[in-house]
Amino acid sequence: MKIIIDRYDGTQHYKQAYVVDKKDIEGKTLLSLLLFIKQNLDATLNFTASCRSAICGACGVRVNGHSVLACDEKMEELLATYDNPEVITVSPLANFRVISDLVVDWEPSIENLRKIRPTFIPKDEFSAEKGCKQTQAEYDKIQKQWDCILCGCCASECSKLTADSSDYMEPFVFTHAHRATFDSRGKDPMLHAKAAVLGGLWNCVHCQECADRCPKGISAADDIAALRVFTQKQGINTGEGPDHANAFLTDLVEGSGRLNEILLALRSEGAMAVSKTDIALKLMGAGKMNPLHIFGEEDIEGHKELVEMIKAARAAADKE
């Protein structure tokens, strides 16, 4: 079979194909296969790895465009998922700067992690003598987020980072912000949560790719949603993101029950919505917007019951 690797030598990107026998992949993980290629076919191939046990996060790469942990992918099982198991392409993680072959630059991401202050800062009441206790229920709220191994798979898949990374941190940064914010022993949850807002908390485009591809089953998208709710409750509830979310819930879901793009844009962006007239005209042309609907639409069957359910859910959440 053929392994095509997207390589980079510091000046140019190119593809290089390596042919291996079926017996050379038997019982191997993708990482073992990369090591086999390096040791037997091409010593110049560069990639990173350490633990070989899916706990250090160093071996993230993409196979046929999707992010995986190389040490956690058994070759036979991986190939069985492809229509053409005779050829695969291995590439560096997307949305990172490539340093060499499959090695990417983590420094900007580490800098973003530093911004959300992921270290544990205990409440004043805790001391070395008293200890720093946490109930099982309190720990359960952040247990999943502790599983993040910083492999970068979520960032590699992130549609927002691919479109524009200038105003958005990596999804795993929000997962660590969630863990620090909701740690019951922490001194100041807002220290982490505010930094998440500044790092683009409201710019997530809800593609869910981060949740789909996380090798540990963590949903950064859910962590982002929880941080949004928390920061709104703490009074950080204005700006285009919160305004859009509030307008969507109160004006559309609880209002008419229909998606009214004109009303949503006006409520979310105010006068700035006028700058998107060209988009509105295109939506109208495609039959996706009816300008008359800004003045109201007929009732939808079952909508009143839906609104009651939302009210009940909100009351239950407030009690928590």
In the complex, which residues of this chain contact ligand FES (CB under 6 A)? 49-52, 54-59, 69, 71
Which C-beta is closer to ligand FES: that of 57 or that of 241? 57
Q: In the complex, what is the shortest distance from the CB of residue 68 to ligand FES, in angstroms, rounded to a whole number?
A: 10
Comparing C-alpha atoms, which of 230, 180, 43, 192 is closest to residue 116? 192
Which C-beta is closer to ligand FES: that of 54 or that of 265? 54
Q: In the complex, what is the shortest distance from the CB of residue 46 to ligand FES, in angstroms, rounded to a whole number?
A: 15
Question: How far apart, in whole angstroms, are the C-alpha atoms of residue 37 and residue 121?
Answer: 45
Q: In the complex, what is the shortest distance from the CB of residue 149 to ligand FES, in angstroms, rounded to a whole number?
A: 6
Q: How far apart are the first and last CA of the chain?
A: 56
Q: Which residues does 247 contact at the CB level (< 8 Å), separation at least 6?
A: 263, 264, 267, 268
Which C-beta is closer to ligand FES: that of 66 or that of 185? 66
Amino acid at 288: K
Long-range contacts of 294-297 (CB under 8 A, 24+ apart): 294/260, 294/262, 294/263, 296/256, 297/256, 297/258, 297/260
Which C-beta is closer to ligand FES: that of 175 or that of 231? 175
Q: In the complex, what is the shortest distance from the CB of residue 30 to ligand FES, in angstroms, rounded to a whole number?
A: 10
Comparing C-alpha atoms, which of 141, 3, 11 is closest to residue 85? 3
Which C-beta is closer to ligand FES: that of 45 or that of 197? 45
Question: How far apart, in whole angstroms, are the C-alpha atoms of residue 10 and residue 99?
Answer: 7
> Nearest 10 degrees: CA dihedral of 2, 8, 14, 19?
-20
Question: How far apart, in whole angstroms, are the C-alpha atoms of residue 40 and residue 250?
Answer: 63
Angle value at C-alpha 261, between 223 and 196, nearest 5 degrees: 25
Q: Which tokens sit at 171?
A: 């999804």
Q: In the complex, what is the shortest distance from the CB of residue 217 to ligand FES, in angstroms, rounded to a whole number?
A: 15
Q: In the complex, what is the shortest distance from the CB of residue 223 to ligand FES, in angstroms, rounded to a whole number?
A: 21
Which C-beta is closer to ligand FES: that of 31 or that of 204? 31
Q: In the complex, what is the shortest distance from the CB of residue 157 to ligand FES, in angstroms, rounded to a whole number?
A: 17
Which C-beta is closer to ligand FES: that of 151 or that of 197? 151
Residues in the chain: 320
